[in-house]
Chains A and B, each alone.
Chain A
Amino acid sequence: MGIIETRHLTHDYQKIDEDGKTQVSCRAVDDVDLDVSPGQFIAILGHNGSGKSTLAKHLNAILLPTQGTVYVDGLDTRDAEKLDAIRQRAGMVFQNPDNQIIGTVVEEDVAFGPENMGVSPREIEQRVEASLKTVDMWEYRKHSPNRLSGGQKQRVAIAGVVAMEPMCIVLDEPTAMLDPVGRKEVIRAAQKLNREKQVTIILITHYMEEVIEADRVIVMDQGKILMQGTPREIFSRVEELKAHRLDVPQVTMLAHELRKSGLPIPEGILTVEELADAISPLVNHTESKKG
């Protein structure tokens, strides 16, 4: 069974005027079926307003469906009695590193989640240590969060979720406000959790280089799933991505352009190595002809 299943998930935002009447209703997520198996690394792409954050917020019952159903490890998110169980299974990390840290010391912040779950003090200690080590922030355990860099703060936020030992972590643009180094640190932490602890990761991002190692990429547009597949399948559809003004990694774009110019280069090139591998035999071939 999947860790996350949505069936015909639809969500409408309503704008309510001063008299409490609905003025406008806007469909943010439109009939989405999503299945995520345990241990997968899923990346969700899409523009602002494409519905990806709204979708994400359904995965730990911050939002409830207007229509359709969301199951987290088989639990229906509309079942209010299961709310704690759902949030323990699916943790969430948000975009702004300054909005999600509450403790005055790093280790206290990480302990907050398990404390609220009623975990014993000794186990809290163990969990705090393990999760801070996973995100490489153990040496900062006694620091004040407000003096950390953005990437470090985000990793503390991830540790806080990890300490609750969730099966699944949803990261909603965790790197959007970070510099390139901070971005890499956060993505590396998510990949490590996925590989070493088999935590299911759902990563929402605008940065293409962050999705090329995902098991599956989902592209959202106007509340619907526009494309779905492996990174290679998705990035083979350059023209479609461009038509929706989505980014394509520079190396994929260059490969695509060369292909359009007549060079026999396959679509879906994702790394510098792959492109070089595709180009260099062509040169050797022409050289040998000449010789």
Chain B
Amino acid sequence: MSIKIEHLNYIYSQGTAYEKQALTDINLELPDGQFAGVIGHTGSGKSTLIQHLNGLIKATEGTVYYNGENIYAENYVMKDLRSRVGLVFQYPEYQLFEVDVFTDVCFGPKNLGLPKEEVEKRAYEALRQVGLKEKYFKKSPFELSGGQKRRAAIAGILAMQPEVLILDEPTAGLDPRGRDDILEQIARLHAERGITVVLVSHSMEDIAKYVERIIVMEKGRVRFDDTPKKVFEHDRELEQIGLAAPQVTYVMRELKNRGMDVDLCATTIDEAKQSILRCMAGRG
């Protein structure tokens, strides 16, 4: 069970004056239950890439396999794929449209043809999972705050009970509290339900804190694909492509330059703290 991408190429507006190669020879495999992060500068192809994962964009060349099945095969049921691979777009709250939050979240499962009872059960569960209180269920989505709207929109995808959840910058434009709430809930979903999560983000600190694997995109290609520690070792190269390692990585580098034997792989505050304290203890 996995998503597998082989030799994928994608060209926008092929055959026109605006033709542009957005993705070049992508080869990736996302095993079941992985929590992966995708980072890259604007225009690096991240969003184009993830839209291939549930068949919203069809590759110009190459193949995408879902659980071993070629999704471009003639008899493949694309609708099925879209219910299994849930995609949360950037600013998903712009897509809320129903009269109230609960009805909006019901929209997805209803379209899967599920009985009303099951639809509502799933909607309740999804709203509970994103931590939206019941008093908001019957409110118009437009009465909610930015963070609440975002959660309602994510609940709309969760209600389809996808096996894979892809989120394109789910915290863009939110305040720190809204950001932490959403990321914590996604992490909890991943831990409790074991679903595969793909998180597209600009924030290295967030990525470092949550994911087990980072895919770095640059100009439509995969530049790095490894654990956060390994990827952040390339801090200079990351800077060259408009990204950066988390701030603590730079602290460790600076201390190392000054002759301290600290762990250069530390990417979170806690790891950095432990390493510095260990280093002090060892010497004292």
Residues on A facing B (Cβ under 8 Å): 47-49, 95, 149-150, 173, 176-177, 179-182, 206, 245-247, 249-251, 253-254, 257-258, 261, 263, 272-273, 275-276, 279-280, 282-283, 286-287, 289-290
Contact = CB atoms under 8 A, between A and B. Distances in A.
B255 interface: yes
Contacts of A48: 145-147, 174-175, 177-178
Interface string B117-160: 00000000000000000000000000001110000000000000
Contact of B247 (A49, A182, A272, A279): A272
30 contacts: A47-B175, A49-B145, A149-B42, A150-B42, A179-B242, A180-B242, A180-B243, A206-B175, A245-B177, A246-B176, A250-B248, A251-B247, A251-B251, A254-B251, A254-B269, A257-B269, A258-B273, A261-B273, A261-B277, A263-B280, A273-B254, A276-B251, A279-B255, A280-B258, A280-B259, A280-B260, A283-B260, A283-B279, A286-B284, A290-B284
A47 B176 CA distance: 7
A253 B269 contact: yes
B45 interface: no
B12 to A, nearest CB: 14
Given A47-B177, A180-B202, A279-B276, 9 more contacts: A149-B42, A177-B172, A180-B243, A181-B242, A245-B180, A250-B205, A250-B246, A258-B277, A290-B284
B273 A276 contact: no
A204 B250 CA distance: 27
A177 to B, nearest CB: 5
Interface string B39-58: 00111000000000000000
A257 B266 CA distance: 15
B173 interface: yes
B193 interface: no
A258 B276 contact: yes
Interface of B: 41-43, 145-147, 172-178, 180, 202, 205, 242-244, 246-248, 250-251, 254-255, 258-260, 269-270, 272-273, 276-277, 279-280, 283-284
A47 B276 CA distance: 32
A250 B207 CA distance: 14
A257 B279 contact: no
Nearest to B268: A250
Contacts, number: 99
Interface of B is mostly: helix
Contact of B251 (A247, A263, A275, A287): A275
Contact of B176 (A180, A245, A253): A245
Contacts of B284: 286, 289-290
A95 B146 CA distance: 13
Contacts of B43: 149
Contacts of A282: 280
Contacts of B270: 257
B260 A279 contact: yes
Nearest to B148: A48
B199 to A, nearest CB: 15
B41 to A, nearest CB: 6
A181 B147 contact: no
Nearest to B40: A179
Contacts of B272: 254
A240 to B, nearest CB: 14
Contacts of A290: 283-284
Contacts of B180: 245
Given A180-B202, A257-B273, A95 B258 contact: no
A241 B174 CA distance: 17
A194 to B, nearest CB: 24
Nearest to B244: A180
A118 B205 CA distance: 48
Residue in A149, A279, A286 with the greatest tally of chain B CB atoms within 10 Å: A279
Residue in B205, B244, B272, B276 with the greatest tally of chain A CB atoms within 10 Å: B276
